[in-house]
Copies of this chain bind each other. A is one copy, B any other.
Amino acid sequence: MFIVCNQSSLKECLGIVSRVVPSRPTHPILGNVLLVAKENKLTLTGFDLSIGIKSSIECKVSVEGEITLPAKLFTDIINRLPDGDIFISIEDIELENPMVEIRSSSGVFYLRGVLAEEYPELPTAQENSFDLPVTPLIEGLKGTLFASATDETKQILTGVHITAKDNILEFASTDGHRLAVVKPSLEEETIIDDFELTIPNKALKEVLNIVANKETITLFSANNQLVFATDTTQLFCRSLDGGYPNYRQLLPNKFERNFNINRKTLIESLERISVFNDNKNTLVQFLLNDNDTINVSSDAKELGNARLIIPVELVVGQIRIGFNVKYLIEGLKAMNSQNIRFSMNESEQPVIITPVSGQQMTYLVMPVRIQD
């Protein structure tokens, strides 16, 4: 192998690929990135056996070849080199662990590689393909990813459920305490074939990375193997098996109590009030018994307490209701509307928060019982 590539392109590509390389790999080879130089392209691959990313940059290939290099060291070296040409070559490919020479204007690094044949093959899926426009994909993911479960034992709930039906895209996620549903608006001429998949949130976070500056991405699906592909990058993952909860039936459609509130003001107040609890699981109490303001308070018993008053509008009914402040803040931050609407029935029943304008998002939060 002997190639010449550009430092900033290689740095960007390595940045995308190395994110999935595990810092404590189960097999040592998975701590490496695979480099394949072929037909004026350098393709890098990172893979943790559940998510794999393969991304290419253009480069001058004088001698084709392949090798794997320790991901962290290789990234550290490339990131610190000056912008400009980088020459990568292998000294003696006959060796089991050949030295790879990385030469730039500032000097030369030698890094010990491992032969590419030891690197596992990335699965592929090339059957059913769906072209997805990137803007609504980003909107859907940003509005739902935060509400999916992080606890791996919750299996299907660690994914985001994506449905395309009759040219309507819907994203949903829940961890059992809250549920986020987003229907991004599509441009009129967009046509999306019907599909229904639950995709691991870890993989979707990486999808957000690979679509930056792209317009469309193609999703290939075969059995439970998925590939997200842009012109330069492919991301492999597996869809989550099992039926996704029928979340639509959880959404109440009649409400006895409502109010509108400025989203940013409420976020600021909730952040102030969460001062009493480091892990942000503070219980916050809303007291609505006035048509102009709502009383937001938290009580940290021995330490102290706080009480903030926030203007509200279009008030219907009165209520005293408790929330986990973290769930509220995360949901409010995923919205972008200036004002939001709280819709409620009783203080133990699910609460629905929706943006007043713009974004089609529904956020359901289970209240927390207030101890008297």
Contacts and interface: CB of A to CB of B under 8 A. Distances in A.
Q: So how many copies of this chain end up in the complex?
A: 2
Contact of A276 (B73, B106, B308): B73
A309 B110 CA distance: 15
Contacts of A165: none
A208 interface: no
A112 interface: yes
Contacts of A296: 107
A99 B304 contact: yes
A308 B275 contact: no
Contacts of A112: 302-304
A306 interface: yes
A307 B102 CA distance: 11
Interface in A286-329: 296, 302-309
Interface residues of A, number: 30
Contacts of A268: 80, 106
A81 interface: yes
A370 interface: no
A106 B303 contact: no
B304 A107 contact: no
A63 interface: no
A306 B70 contact: no
A109 interface: yes
